[in-house]
Amino acid sequence: MSTVGIPAEVLQDWGIADGTRININIGLNRISAQVKAIKDREGILLSADIKGLLGLKKGEKVRLGRKNQAIFLGPVMGILTTGISSVVVNGSRSRFFSRFCKASEQFGVKAFVFGAHDVDFSNRRIRGYQYVKGHWEKHVFPLPNVVYNRVPNRTSEKRPEIKLVKKGLKDLPGLQFFNPGYFDKWQLYRLLSPDEEISKYLPETRLLKNKIDLLSMLQKHGMVYLKPVFGTLGLGIIRLTLKNKQVYIDRKVNEKHTRTVVLVSALPQLIGSLIAGRRYVIQQGVYLSRYKGRNFDVRITMQRNEQGIWVPVIIGAKIAAPNGITTHVHNGGSVRGVETVFNEVFGNRAETYLKWMVEISARIGDVLEERLNSPVGEIGLDFGIDVDGHVWVFEANSKPGRMVFNVAGGEKARRDSYRLIPRYALYLSGMRGSVLLRVIS
């Protein structure tokens, strides 16, 4: 018989009598169990069948909550990714996912990693891996309360099996699926530009459809960037600068910065070879403030906490390489602590700018969530401040890179980042006010 031993004080607070049979929700599954009062104020006793459902071990933390006439045990969070075989062997991906699982256990969230082929919708279960005492352990879990999307790249997101499993999970009543997928640059602009509060911080952006649009933007702004719609890491970015009827074309080719100078009249014939059939956006160029003679911008990583509130996890300054056209580390840029850079460049205005950017970031996160009609738990935003002091938003990433954590104080921020994922899962699952208990048997 399924039984749950619950601290007597908790049962009294909930108005549940010792020995009562009650429904217990574990993930999206439900069982009937008898509750028993125990003296241990911080412990929970679980019969073998219930422990087996979640792969719980003695000493592990788990949460217990009550909603209406049911008890909730968990919450359960699945982490969707690809290449599971590389996750469960030693290496960078294994360390990355194991940190999420260890952080989750601290908050009583049962976390596991799974792939698209591991989901068994008909039997309402998922074959996944949990991280236990320094190693990965295979287990069959109930359908989770929350799914965290960590599919690693756009190519994987486009796979039919990933699309299918994402749709199936999102359609499940009661399941919260957060971080819906990667943004592309044109989609992002169309999502954000209608918002009056945000639009004033966005550089004018158009989809490159014809040469007339390009010449119009170049003549209007004097400098524009061509960016691949589905680009990442600064790859494929081209800067065009108009000077005295000549266009200076700066880009990176074979890891080297190259500059080509052509007459404006020659640009339409050249543009096809530059973009090589890829979809590009044209983005208004901005003359950025400089640090020690180099362009810089700012990366802010924002995450939601257990109250659903956006908090800044880390803020770093990205410094361009000498003559670099972007600040991406992949293109020779570097990351510095933002306080050092801002204090030198902006003096007593530094704190105001940082506060301003954090407020804009939170607004962007809210708007994206509203427009996508899906929970968004983390975003990485790239800001610039031009020579006139105007703040610009260049980019928002749904799965921000972690290079920015390689700054002074970054290790603490990295730990905070891992911990915020299960904290947000508590918010999404409705178990924020639940009781944190330790499995004693």
Gap between the Cα atoms of 440 and 23, Å rounded:
21
Taking every pair of Cα atoms in the chain, the longest distance, rounded to a whole number of angstroms, is 87
Model pLDDT for residues 223-250, shown as the tens digit of each residue: 999 999 988 777 789 999 999 889 999 8
Distance from chain centroid for Cα 80: 13
332 pLDDT band, cuts 50/70/90, is low
Model confidence, pTM: 0.93
Question: Quick one: CATH architecture of 183-201+287-418?
Answer: 2-Layer Sandwich (3.30)
Class of domain 3-74: mainly beta
What would the two tokens of residue 258 be? Answer: 């190259």
**Contacting residues for 209 by C-beta, under 8 A, at least 6 apart:** none
Model pLDDT for residues 271-321, shown as the tens digit of each residue: 888 887 889 999 999 999 999 999 899 999 999 999 999 999 999 998 988
User: Which amino acid is present at 88?
Assistant: V
What would the two tokens of residue 239 be? Answer: 């800067």
pLDDT at 302: 97
Tell whether domain 204-285 is in CATH 3.30.1490.
yes
Give the number of residues written for the chain: 441
Gap between the Cα atoms of 227 and 232, Å rounded:
9
pLDDT at 273: 82
DSSP state of 320: P
CATH topology for the 76-178 domain: Rossmann fold (3.40.50)
Burial of 338 per CB tally in 10 Å (0-12, 13-18, 19+): buried
Residue pair 62/108 in contact (Cβ under 8 Å)? The answer is yes
Residue pair 421/148 in contact (Cβ under 8 Å)? The answer is yes
Model pLDDT for residues 83-130, shown as the tens digit of each residue: 888 777 767 888 999 999 999 999 999 999 999 999 999 999 999 999
Gap between the Cα atoms of 285 and 219, Å rounded:
11
Helix 267-275 crosses helix 211-221 at what angle (to 10 degrees)? 110
Query: Per-domain residue ranges for the chain?
Result: 3-74, 76-178, 183-201+287-418, 204-285
